[in-house]
Chains A and B, each alone.
Chain A
Amino acid sequence: MTAAKGFFTDTTLCIGCKACEVACKQWNRLPDDGFTFTGMSYDNTVHLGASTWRHVAFVERPVALNNQDAGAFSWLFSSDVCKHCARAGCLESCPTGAIIRTEFDSVYVQPDVCNGCGYCVVNCPFGVIDRREDDGRAWKCTLCYDRLRADMQPACAKACPTESIQFGNVDDLRHKARARVEKLHRNGLTEAYLYGADKQSQPGTEGLNAFFLLLDRPEVYNLPPNPVVPTKTVKKAWTSMAFAALAMAGVAVASVLAQGESRS
């Protein structure tokens, strides 16, 4: 395996141009998912989904921000993407083994294996992966697996004009990100913090290979504050299942034995 690759998305540099969305659609030849006007700021993409693997969130806040000159108002932009979690709910729940961990430590859905059971869809704590209705299979960001194999960086990072999306070795990106937070704090942007950068700050996923620098609570960007891979909390359900199965067998045997003698 080569070094783990991933994204560091620095939302303080995002200008909301959506070049990442377009580049991703073009390179991966993703179908459109409707042309609707939502009225939600400049966000007409709304969600990540089976055909949308980058999504720029537009947040309008009645709060001043130190590096923006708009009075008691500020913009937050953030380009969301599959997090390629260290413990991936989609991968662990996939019953066919279609979802695998690649040599780049990314999480990849093999389209020739996926049978469209839909279980990964309810197992992603970020709501990233979805089933494409006309196609029947589950799809999500591949971290441009085909481009990485050819020593190119993912299309979104290549297209990003402000280096808000940075691609590289996850270890290097973590160092860069920490330095960036320190610099922002020194410049007075004390709200800056890293989301999902390591196991300590996000134990539920054991860290994300695509992590973020944010300026407000995760919920503001539609990110879960403390996501947990479902497999981590399910031991109690397996225990209950064992109890239920044994109790059922016990009741069945007791029912037979209690009526053991023919009364009629």
Chain B
Amino acid sequence: MSTEQVTIAGTEVLITARETEPALPAPGPTYYDQPVLKKPVWTMEIPLYYYVGGAAGASLVLGAAAQLDRSGELDGLVRRCHWAGIIGSTIAGGLLISDLGRPERFLNMLRVFRPTSPMNMGAWILSGAGPTAVTAGLLMTRPGFWGGIGDLFGFASGLFGMGLATYTGVLVANTAVPVWQKSGRILPILFGASAMASAGSIFDMLLENPRERRITYTFGTIGRVAELAAAVALERQAAQLPVVARPLKSGASGFLWKAATALTAASLITSLLPNRTRKKRLIAGVLGTAGSLALRFAVHEAGVASARDPRATFGPQRSSTASTALPQPDSTPLLSGR
């Protein structure tokens, strides 16, 4: 302890300061530790939407790919993929609408076309995915001309599916939230991989036809491997600035993040075990689904924690060079910083 005599408003007072300040996570002042940014107002519908929309999108992509097989043996898989896409994008739309502050105005999303807004782009992608898949499902089984049109709509739904499964990564990256912004290069890849794993897990639990199963197994397994790899890459990228990466390591978001990796790894190992019985496939599917869900919630919660932390906002901005014109962080001590 050290005491210091200072004059405040003409009165001499003793200020006692601790010799060692409590260890601050990062140097520099804050305003009474208050957050700079507003925390996301989104509730659990939105991370659920990331999952459902992702699974629906990846299913549509797989469905369009299965159309390439002209033998007719994969018609069942194409149909099931379309159904997954239709049901998924319908639920996804419902989740988005219910999270709006004014749900009755959801159509306002489509009154502009605005490439600077990933949410606007996503609204267009989502409204393309469902209807094209429905049209494909209605027409594809018909012979001749209308069947061909159905095929085209099937491929179109695959294109929309590609967007639907990955754009949410850009949606999250295009924010002022430090942990989301700083992991922007990896997030779309992570979300895309997670979407593949999600679709693979759903088909693990549902499919019985051996050939269809081999296809969805390959697709889902690559998805799980890519999801694990992208998660490692994201953590590494964020770790360049420890104050930004903190929500991935501690708190509820850190727990979810670790749980996601553990669950996806467990599902991958289960699916790789020899002699794939129905029981094993069910277990792999349940673990994979839980892993993908945990991942989406982890990313959401990490964003909330990151927005609440003023040091996560200030730190990266101070380490960029453009702010050298401003007074430097170590110039004076501050009461309000403690």
Residues of A within 8 A of B (CB): 38, 40, 43, 46-47, 49, 57, 59-63, 69-73, 89, 92-98, 113-119, 121-132, 135-138, 191, 193, 195, 201, 203-204, 216-228, 230-231, 233-234, 236-238, 240-241, 243-249, 251-260, 262-264
Q: Which of A96, A204, A260, A264 contacts B111 (CB 8 A)?
A: A96
Docked complex Cα distance between A240 and B327 (Å): 36
Contact: B42 with A252, CB < 8 Å? no
CA distance A86 to B34 in the complex (A): 26
Minimum CB–CB distance for B202 against chain A, Å: 15
A204-B322, A248-B195 known; A123+B174 contact, CB < 8 A? yes
Residue B244 is within 8 A (CB to CB) of chain A in the complex: no
Q: Known contacts A204-B322, A259-B211; decide if A240 and B119 are in contact (CB<8 Å).
A: no
Q: How far is the CB of B180 from chain A (nearest CB, A)?
A: 8
What are the residues of chain B within 8 A of A46 when measuring CB–CB?
A: 34
Q: Which of B69, B117, B211, B222 contacts A119 (CB 8 A)?
A: B117
**Complex CA distance for A191 and B64, rounded to whole angstroms:** 64
A249 touches B162 (CB 8 A): yes
Give the Cβ gap from A29 to chain B, nearest Cβ, in Å. Answer: 19
Query: In the complex the two chains form, is A256's CB within 8 Å of B65's CB?
Result: yes
- Does chain A have a CB within 8 A of B310? yes
Interchain CB contact under 8 A, A62 and B335: yes
A91–B181 alpha-carbon span in the complex (Å): 18
Chain A: minimal CB distance from B110 (Å): 9
- Does B239 sit at the interface, judged by CB under 8 A? no
B327 touches A193 (CB 8 A): yes
What B residues does A230 contact at CB under 8 A?
173-176, 181
Shortest CB-to-CB span from A236 to chain B, Å, is 5
Q: In the complex, which of the residues B65, B108, B223, B336 contacts A96, with contact meaning CB atoms closer than 8 Å?
A: B108
Task: Take A216-B332, A255-B62 as given contacts and tell me if A224 and B317 are in contact as well, using a CB distance cutoff of 8 Å.
Answer: yes
Residues of chain B from 177 to 233 with CB closer than 8 A to chain A in the complex: 177, 180-181, 184-189, 191-193, 195-196, 210-211, 214-216, 218-219, 222-223
Q: Say yes or no for B37: interface residue by CB 8 A criterion.
A: yes
Are B9 and A73 in touch, CB under 8 angstroms? yes
**Known interface pairs A62-B6, A116-B100, A233-B184; A127-B35 also in contact (CB < 8 Å):** yes
* Contact residue among A92, A234, A248 (Cβ-Cβ distance under 8 Å from B58): A248
Which residue of A124, A201, A221 contacts B38 across the interface (Cβ within 8 Å)?
A124
Q: Which 8 pairs of residues, A with B, have the shortest CB-CB distance? A: A116-B101, A136-B101, A71-B7, A222-B31, A244-B192, A115-B105, A252-B65, A95-B120
B contacts, CB < 8 Å to A: 6-10, 15, 28-32, 34-38, 40-42, 58, 61-62, 64-66, 68-69, 71, 73-74, 99-103, 105-106, 108-109, 111-112, 114, 116-120, 122-123, 158, 162-163, 165-167, 169-171, 173-177, 180-181, 184-189, 191-193, 195-196, 210-211, 214-216, 218-219, 222-223, 303, 307, 310, 313-314, 317-318, 320, 322-323, 325-329, 331-337
Give A76 to B259 CA distance when docked, in angstroms. Answer: 46
Partner of A241, one of B35, B42, B188, B326: B188
**Chain B residues with CB below 8 A from A222, complex form:** 30-31, 34, 36, 310
Answer whether A115 and B102 are a contact pair too, CB < 8 Å, given A222-B310, A256-B69.
yes
Assess whether B108 is in contact with A98, with CB atoms less than 8 Å apart: yes
B196 touches A248 (CB 8 A): yes
Q: How far is the CA of A57 from the CA of B196 in the complex (A)?
A: 48
Which of B117, B211, B320, B326 is the one whose CB lies under 8 Å from A264?
A: B211
* 20 pairs of residues in contact across A and B, judged by CB atoms under 8 Å: A46-B34, A61-B336, A63-B332, A70-B10, A71-B7, A97-B108, A116-B100, A118-B99, A131-B41, A216-B332, A219-B329, A225-B314, A227-B176, A230-B174, A244-B191, A244-B193, A249-B61, A251-B223, A255-B219, A256-B68
Nearest A residue to B8 via CB reads A73
- Of the candidates B210, B216, B320, which one forms a contact with A226 in the assembled complex, judged by CB atoms under 8 Å apart? B320
Q: How distant is B280 from chain A, measured CB to nearest CB, in Å?
A: 19
Return the chain A residue nearest B316 by Cβ: A226
Q: Is the CB of A115 within 8 A of B176?
A: no
B62 partner residues in chain A, CB cutoff 8 A: 252, 255-256
